[in-house]
């Protein structure tokens, strides 16, 4: 297969799914990792895709653009697992926590399955599915799933979700976001999701944001909260040095999680 044919297939995959991993392209195209990265580099040079860690993503930078859950789930997978492990370490047995919708919070739900006696409030059917598995009763876990209208990112949002959160009080909220920015704060491209996320923030005593490094500098249509509302930001080691300096001035605590556990 010629280079322009491979690049056309890569571009098609990115446009259809919002993003694609190098490993998947290697398997699909039957070429080396280096060849795929070179093709992505060429597409990036031509302004057709965004080059991200581990793959390529769509260049659609509209503040209202909302990638689907499946597309986002394929990007930064190792970083999201590392962030989830670090975030789960902040949760004590018997705590009440809220988890917003998102691919990182789904990883966090998996990391929380061994923590006993948790009460988990979520507007994510996928988070609820991860936590509602055979044997869940043995940990004493209670899962509360809000109602609402489902968004492309698989969040339940709108008046029903907001009303179900009113009057609830949890120890910690673990919030996944579309973007982090010094001026815009925590953002999402979906107005209904922003309103529901604000309701989640209101019901939590402590706000923990879980976001990989690619979220820095991204601004969605609606602000959920300012960075100064964040008690803990859990991200990965690729989080830029200038970004670390910026958030340390306003965020309570910054945790950078390595992709692999150290011995």
pLDDT tens, position by position, 93-138:
999 999 999 999 999 999 999 899 999 999 999 999 999 876 655 6
Give the CA count within 13 Å in the CB-facing half-sphere of 126.
19
| Domain edge (last residue) among 31, 59, 87 | 59
166 neighbors 201 (Cβ within 8 angstroms): no
Judge whether 262 lies within some domain.
no
Q: Are residues 77 and 54 in the same domain?
A: no
221 neighbors 65 (Cβ within 8 angstroms): no
From residue 18, alpha-carbon distances to 129, 149, 173, 211 in Å are 24, 22, 28, 18
Q: Are residues 199 and 173 in the same domain?
A: yes
Q: Are residues 39 and 135 in the same domain?
A: no
Judge whether 197 lies within some domain.
yes
Q: Which two tokens stand for residue 73?
A: 């789930």
Q: Average pLDDT, whole number, for the chain?
A: 88
d(C-alpha 93, C-alpha 263), whole Å: 25
CATH of the domain at 11: 1.10.10.10
Q: Are residues 185 and 232 in the same domain?
A: yes
Please write the tens of the pLDDT for every residue from 222-245: 999 999 999 999 999 988 888 999
Report pLDDT for 72.
58
Q: How does residue 252 score in pLDDT terms, banded at 50, 70 and 90?
A: very high
Judge whether 67 lies within some domain.
no
Report pLDDT for 71.
55
Judge whether 249 lies within some domain.
yes
Judge whether 66 lies within some domain.
no
Q: Are residues 94 and 147 in the same domain?
A: yes
Q: Are residues 144 and 210 in the same domain?
A: yes
Judge whether 263 lies within some domain.
no
Q: In what order do the strands lie in the sheet with 222-225?
A: 179-181, 185-188, 222-225
| Domain edge (last residue) among 20, 38, 59 | 59
Q: Are residues 42 and 76 in the same domain?
A: no
Domains in the chain: how many in total? 2
From residue 64, alpha-carbon distances to 155, 206, 223 in Å are 16, 28, 12
CATH of the domain at 112: 3.40.50.1360
Q: Which domain holds residue 52?
A: 3-59
Q: Are residues 51 and 100 in the same domain?
A: no
Q: Are residues 55 and 76 in the same domain?
A: no
Judge whether 91 lies within some domain.
yes
In this predicted structure, the answer to whether residue 92 has a pLDDT above a threshold of 90 is yes
Please give the model's pTM, rounded to 2 decimal places: 0.75
From residue 13, alpha-carbon distances to 6, 57, 66, 70, 193 in Å are 11, 10, 17, 12, 27
Judge whether 65 lies within some domain.
no
Q: Percent of the chain at pLDDT above 90?
A: 59
| Domain edge (last residue) among 13, 38, 59 | 59
Q: Are residues 127 and 219 in the same domain?
A: yes
In this predicted structure, the answer to whether residue 36 has a pLDDT above a threshold of 70 is yes
Q: Are residues 129 and 226 in the same domain?
A: yes
Q: Are residues 116 and 143 in the same domain?
A: yes
């Amino acid at each position: 297969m010629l280079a322009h044919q491979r690049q056309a297939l890569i571009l098609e995959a990115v446009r259809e799914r919002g993003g694609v991993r190098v490993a998947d392209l290697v398997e699909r195209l039957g070429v080396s990792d280096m060849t795929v990265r070179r093709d992505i580099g060429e597409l990036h040079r031509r302004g057709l895709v965004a080059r991200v860690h581990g793959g390529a993503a769509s260049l659609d930078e509209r503040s209202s653009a909302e990638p689907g859950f499946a597309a986002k789930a394929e990007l930064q997978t190792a970083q999201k697992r590392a962030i989830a492990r670090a975030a789960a370490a902040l949760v004590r047995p018997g705590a009440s926590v809220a988890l917003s919708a998102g691919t990182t919070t789904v990883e966090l739900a998996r990391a929380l399955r061994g923590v006993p006696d948790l009460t988990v409030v979520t507007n994510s059917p996928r988070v609820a599915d991860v936590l509602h598995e055979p044997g869940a009763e043995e940990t004493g876990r209670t899962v509360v799933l809000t109602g609402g209208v489902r968004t492309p990112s698989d969040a339940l949002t709108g008046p029903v979700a907001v009303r179900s959160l009113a009057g609830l009080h949890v120890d910690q909220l673990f919030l996944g976001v579309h973007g982090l920015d010094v001026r815009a704060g925590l953002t999402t491209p979906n107005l209904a999701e922003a309103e529901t996320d604000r309701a989640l923030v209101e019901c939590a005593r402590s706000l923990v944001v879980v976001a990989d490094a690619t979220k820095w500098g991204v601004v969605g249509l609606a602000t959920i909260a300012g960075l100064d509302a964040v008690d803990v930001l859990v991200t990965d080691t690729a989080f830029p040095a200038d970004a670390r300096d910026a958030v340390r001035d306003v965020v309570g605590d910054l945790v950078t999680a390595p992709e692999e556990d150290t011995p």
